[in-house]
Structure 1
Amino acid sequence: MPVPEFIVQLREHVGHDRLFLTGVCAVVVRDDRGGPEILYGRRSDDGRWALPSGILEPGEQAATTVAREVWEELRVTVEPERLVLLTTDPDVRYPNGDVCQYVSLTFRCRYVSGEAEVGDDETLEVAWRPADDPPEELDERQRRRIAVALSGAEACVFDL
């Protein structure tokens, strides 16, 4: 997975120290085949199933980023419907020693079109799964994102 150029430039100044970045996550809901389904990609870095996600580029709007990431990784066009969850996630330490902490913006997105296929080297497989049957290895943060996106709450949920 290529590191965005703006992060490469920041790393020249801060080394491996923590970068505080904005990330997006998509809960893509498809409800045209008999029941709600959620879109997942199996990541190439750790082999685990996950919701599509990515990092905001400088000057990019968050809703634009989430739609771009879903297209790049899974070849599905989505319409971001609403921001459903805002969290600050724990530090992530990458194999090269870099540390990042993400403010994560989770969007509920409506499926528009596309065949759901591998779109880049970040993804090994793509799958739609029934909303009530997520992959076993999904971590609690991602399970929470799905639950909030499907809850019907009108306001964004945030942690205090």
Structure 2
Amino acid sequence: MKIEVIVVGKLKEYAQKACDDYMKLLRPFTQIEVVQLKHVKATEMNEIALKQEAQEVLNRLKESDYVIVLDQNGKDYDSLSFAKHLSQLTWEKSSIVFVVGGPFGIDSSLKNRANELLSLSKMTLTHQLAVVVLLEQLFRAFKIIHGQRYHY
């Protein structure tokens, strides 16, 4: 099972440090990679920029990838149900790709390509925090899947 997290935009130092920490924790459970793509410079919400960012992400995807796009209107899970869902996906799919949009969100073409939309919270999170929260929840899910303690 391979998991890839594609994030549009470069992570700031605090987020990169947290991601590095979670990547170390996740490696015993799964092959995982965080890929940072350059976000298109725009001073405000710009449909052309969103389409360009989406195209960069789409160019990285393989047809066989199971794509989960983070979106505030996506399905929300508690930790136990997310772990159950992830466990099922790891049996059925060879690779899962999570996509975290940039500062201005995600173009509809990416949402249309997605196999599912996932919400981490009803609140809006920066892409910096979203990738950290996602990695933390993936780590927690794998602890649950492997019957290990996940509350600290």
TM-score by length of 1: 0.25
Ranked by relative contact order (alpha carbons within 8 Å, sequence separation 6 or more), the top structure is 2
Q: Answer 1 or 2: which has greater helix percent.
A: 2
